[in-house]
Each structure stands twice: as C-alpha cells, then as structure tokens.
C-alpha cells in the first residue's frame, strides 16, 4: 500500500512570512507614492482600482498568515475521543486500486472511526473483491461496516443513503467525516480534523488536499506520461495554494465557504437535520447534482463557524489532461455561481463568511476590470501593449506559492517540490487568463446542473 505522509515545516513557513512581508512592504510604499501622484493629478490610469485591489490582497495576506492549527488540551482530547465518527464513502466509477487504497488509508488511521458506510453508486466497475477484503479488515478491527448499492447516480443521493443506512443500523453519530473514494489519507488525518470540534461553535472542518499522482504512479499512457505529470503538478500547485491562501484567510475568522469532499468533517446535525433540502436542491427548476460540499458548508455556517485544520492532510487523484481539468473546474464554477445566491440569502450577517464572500466577488470584479483594461481596452483604444504588467500576477503567484513550500511530503523530495514552486507564474497566468474565461463560461451555462463527470473510470493508481 502507498502510504503518503505530509507534515508542516515551521522553518519554511516563517521564511515565507518574512519574504512575503518584505515584498508587501515595498509594494505598499509604491502604492502610497502612486496615491500621492494621483491626488496631484499626475497618476496613471486606473490607479485607484489598482490600489484597491492591492489593499484587498494585503488584507487577505494578513488573514491567511494568522491561521493556526487547532490544538487541544489533554481534557479536550479525552472529550474528542468520546465522539462517535461515521465515514460515508460514495463510490462511482472509481479505479479499483485507488478505491482500495482509500479504504486502506482509513483503516490505518491513528484515530479509527466508529462506523464506515460505503455506497456503490450506479457503478460499471465490479468491486466485489475489494468488498470481500474490506469486510475482513473491518471485522478484524471491530469497525461496523455497511456496504450498499443504489441504481441512482449522484454523490448526494449516495451520502443520503449512507446517513439513513447508519441510522437504520442503530449507529449513533456525532461527527460525519466525508471522504472521496480516491482519497489517500495521512495516518493522522482523522485525529487532526477532529481537534477543532473541541470548540462548540465550530460546525465543520476542512482538511488540506494534495495530489496523490504527483509522481506518475497511475496506470500509464506511455511516453505521454511526462506531460501529464507536469499538468498534475501545476494543478496540485494551483489547488494547494488556493487552500492555503483563500481558504486559510476565511478560516482565520471562522468563515470557510467551501470544504473539499476529499476530506471534511461535520457535526451530525448538519446532515441529519438538512437531509431533505440537501437531496432536493433545485436551481432554475433543475435539480442540482454538484456542489455538495459547498452546500453542506452553508448549513454549517448557519449554525456557527466553519474552519480549516491545516494539519489534516489527504491526497487525491488530480486531472492529468486538459479535458478532465476543464470539466472539473467548470463544474466547480457553476456550483460557485449558484452558491452566490444562496450565500447572500442565507448566511448570517454576523458571520465573516458573508462579508468574506462579498469581498471575494469585489476582488473578482476588480481583477476582471484590470484584465480587460490591460489586454482589451489599452491595446484597442490607446494602442498600448503593456505586457510587462503581466509581471504583477507573476510576482503575486510567487508570493502566494511560498505557502506551497510550507510542508513536506514523504513521496516528493524537496528539490522536486521546489521545482514545482518555480513554475508558480505559469499556474498564476493560466488562472489569470484561461481559468477566467472558463469561469465566465461556467456562469453563462449554470443551468447545466448535472454532474458531468465520472461517466467512466478515468484515472487509477498503478497496480
């Protein structure tokens, strides 16, 4: 079995804080000077927009640097050990090797769950051998296992069956830990993700998700593998930095907006009490099949705080071709657009999540204005090509990607990790341009509320 260990490194984190702080200080001085010249009537076009975007970036930096892993006292740890944890695992067209590795990683946890529920969801894959093996393993560890099948596709429906199946079996649950069927959990993932629940106000906890196929350990495509591995690394860099920047900033004030289905934890009432609405959400008269994690996070925010535990790690299979990547991102952005309406309608005004969500949209609008000004307005109207200003997202990309160096993993040496970091400008410019267009497309086609992926096995770990 492929055990991947991930750990935070304090020295690298402090170095990143120092470098980012120095860069922001220099940039702040530059914007102060720009503000003075603008006030005197000598400033550049759109200087106010640039300054506002910088202030929002600086505020975000202050927040994500203030995030700390939740720690507990011995007394709190004893209370956490009494929590009854159920793990629902929907599986649909998952590679058998990846699925088996997921189940194995749950059984090697330093803090084992009290119940595991597996729901086969309209699969074309035969998991009978995996089921037989897992039943024996759970029996040896005395962990109750419920394994059911459903002909109806959909992750939410499978999770609903997991919840009702556990209830029918007489299982009492305090915490649901949601796990995707291709997750490979760090051995302390459950122990770490439970720690924030020592605070009664915290309703959900997100884990940190990284790529498990970082080094090409998948059923291969021969010579194409090298290019696919590069895409996986770029995706891993972009995805991990997003969690350690956007989500960490939200977590610092208890307002995480989206958990990841790969690894997240919820107080039982969030699923138990909202199951009907969760399973029957509609938008423009159409049933919504995706964006399940963000819907659960909204339910959590209605009751209290949603945070991230930056010491709870899991890895997952990242897309290794552009078709998979674009379909995944399009689905996410459609869900994010739909969630915009629900968040403004249902989130409490006394929770930072509401205002953080508003700031996020302001930031998105500002960055879009800057994008249009630099690459549409100036070239078309003023015949000015200011490609050198692409240096700004490059520098921002490097500054934020310092967060990527703040941990080490057992399957990737530092030199390899650092080379991935050096490619941060590529990921940043790709997100600044291509992903921006994909996001517009997703918003324009938000009426397409079906799942859109997992029609067949697309990736699997090498056997």
pLDDT digits (tens, 9 = 90+) for 170-189: 889 999 999 999 999 999 99
Contact of 21 with 58, CB cutoff 8 Å: no
Is the C-alpha dihedral spanning 87, 91, 94, 100 positive or negative?
A: positive
Contact of 248 with 255, CB cutoff 8 Å: no
Q: Which residues contact 7 (CB under 8 A, 6 or more apart)?
A: 407, 408, 409
Residue 39 has pLDDT above 60, yes or no: no
Residue 455 has pLDDT above 90, yes or no: no
Contact of 307 with 206, CB cutoff 8 Å: yes
256/320: higher pLDDT: 256
Over residues 74-104, the pLDDT tens digits come to: 999 999 999 999 999 999 888 899 999 999 9
The DSSP letter of residue 373 is I
Contact of 275 with 163, CB cutoff 8 Å: yes
149/243: higher pLDDT: 243
What is the C-alpha separation between 112 and 134, in angstroms, rounded?
A: 15
393/406: higher pLDDT: 406
How much is the pTM? 0.88
Q: Which tokens hold the place of 23? A: 């860069």
Long-range contacts: 138-142, Cβ < 8 Å, 24+? 138/107, 141/107, 141/112
Closest CA to 178 of 320, 353, 312, 346: 312
Domains and CATH numbers, the chain: 6-67+355-444 (no CATH), 74-347 (3.90.550.10)
Give the CA count within 13 Å in the CB-facing half-sphere of 290. Answer: 22
Q: What is the pLDDT of residue 223?
A: 45
CA distances from 340 to 53, 157, 333, 386, 432 (A): 21, 23, 10, 33, 21
Backbone angles phi, psi at 389, to 5 degrees: -75, -10
Residue 220 has pLDDT above 70, yes or no: no
What is the C-alpha separation between 111 and 85, in angstroms, rounded?
A: 10
Task: Tell me which range, 329-338, 376-385, 386-395, is most confidently predicted by mean pLDDT.
Answer: 329-338
Q: Which residues of 88-101 are buried (b: 16+ CB within 10 A; e: fewer)?
A: bbbbbbbbbbbbbb
List 146's β-bridge partners, or say none: 117
CA distances from 330 to 97, 124, 156, 172, 450 (A): 27, 25, 19, 37, 12
What is the C-alpha separation between 111 and 188, in angstroms, rounded?
A: 7
Q: Which tokens hold the place of 311? A: 């010491």
Residue 26 has pLDDT above 60, yes or no: no
Q: What is the pLDDT of residue 74?
A: 96
Q: What is the pLDDT of residue 16?
A: 62
Which of 325-339, 359-373, 433-447 is predicted with the least confidence, judged by mean pLDDT? 359-373
With left for phi above 0 and alpha for psi between -120 and 50, is residue 216 left, alpha or beta? left
With left for phi above 0 and alpha for psi between -120 and 50, is residue 250 left, alpha or beta? alpha
Mean pLDDT of 294-299: 95
CA distances from 457 to 111, 317, 433, 453 (A): 31, 12, 30, 10
Q: What is the pLDDT of residue 30?
A: 58
Give the H or E element holding residue 317.
Answer: none
Mean pLDDT of 222-228: 59
Q: What is the pLDDT of residue 255?
A: 95
Closest CA to 244 of 233, 230, 232, 256: 256
Q: What is the pLDDT of residue 143?
A: 95
Burial class (CB in 10 A: 0-12, 13-18, 19+), 119: buried
Averaged pLDDT score across all residues of the chain: 85
Mean pLDDT of 301-308: 96
Which of 23-27, 192-196, 240-244 is predicted with the least confidence, judged by mean pLDDT? 23-27
3 state SS of 449:
coil
What is the C-alpha separation between 161 and 89, in angstroms, rounded?
A: 10
Which of 114-128, 371-385, 397-411 is predicted with the least confidence, judged by mean pLDDT? 371-385
Q: What is the pLDDT of residue 365?
A: 83
Mean pLDDT of 229-240: 90
With cut-offs at 50, 70 and 90, classify the pLDDT of residue 138.
very high
**E strand spans, 47-185:** 85-91, 115-121, 145-150, 175-179, 184-185
């Amino acid at each position: 079995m492929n055990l991947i260990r991930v750990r935070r490194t304090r020295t690298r984190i402090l170095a990143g804080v120092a470098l980012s702080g120095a860069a922001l200080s220099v940039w702040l001085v530059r914007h102060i000077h720009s503000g003075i010249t603008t006030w005197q009537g000598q400033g550049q076009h759109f200087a106010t927009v640039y300054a506002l975007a910088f202030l929002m970036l600086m505020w975000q930096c202050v927040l994500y640097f203030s995030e700390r892993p939740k720690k507990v006292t011995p007394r709190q740890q004893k209370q956490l050990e009494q929590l009854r944890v159920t793990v629902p695992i929907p599986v649909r067209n998952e590679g058998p090797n990846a699925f088996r590795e997921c189940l194995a990683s749950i059984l090697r946890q330093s803090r084992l769950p009290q119940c595991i529920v597996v729901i086969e969801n309209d699969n074309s894959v035969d998991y009978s051998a995996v089921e037989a093996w897992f039943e024996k393993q759970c029996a040896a560890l005395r962990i109750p296992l419920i394994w059911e099948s459903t002909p109806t596709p959909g992750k939410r429906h499978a999770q609903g069956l997991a919840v009702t199946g556990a209830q029918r079996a007489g299982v009492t649950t305090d915490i649901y830990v949601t796990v995707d069927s291709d997750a490979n959990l760090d051995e302390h993932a459950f122990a770490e993700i439970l720690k924030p629940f020592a605070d009664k106000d915290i309703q959900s906890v997100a884990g940190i998700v990284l790529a498990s196929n970082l080094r090409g350990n998948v059923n291969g495509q021969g010579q194409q593998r090298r290019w696919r591995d590069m895409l996986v690394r770029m995706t891993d860099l972009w995805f991990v930095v997003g969690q350690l920047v956007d989500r960490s900033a939200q977590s610092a004030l208890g307002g995480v907006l989206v958990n990841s289905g790969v690894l997240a934890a919820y107080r039982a009432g969030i699923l138990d009490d909202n199951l009907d609405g969760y399973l029957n959400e509609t938008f423009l008269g159409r049933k919504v099949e995706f964006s399940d994690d963000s819907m659960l996070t909204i339910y959590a925010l209605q009751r209290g705080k949603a945070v991230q535990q930056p010491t709870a790690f899991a890895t997952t299979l990242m897309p290794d071709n552009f078709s998979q990547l674009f379909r995944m991102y399009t689905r996410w952005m459609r869900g994010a657009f739909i969630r915009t309406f629900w968040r403004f309608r249902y989130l409490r005004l006394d929770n930072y999540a509401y205002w953080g969500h508003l700031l996020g949209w302001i930031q998105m609008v500002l960055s879009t204005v800057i994008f249009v000004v630099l690459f549409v307005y100036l070239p078309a109207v003023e015949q000015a090509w200011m490609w050198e200003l692409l240096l700004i997202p490059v520098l921002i990309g490097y500054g934020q990607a310092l967060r990527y160096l703040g941990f080490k993993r057992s399957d990737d040496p530092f030199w390899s990790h650092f080379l991935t970091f050096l490619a941060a400008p590529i990921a940043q410019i790709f997100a600044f341009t291509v992903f921006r267009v994909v996001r517009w497309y997703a918003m324009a086609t938000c009426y397409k509320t079906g799942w859109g992926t997992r029609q067949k096995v697309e990736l699997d770990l090498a056997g």
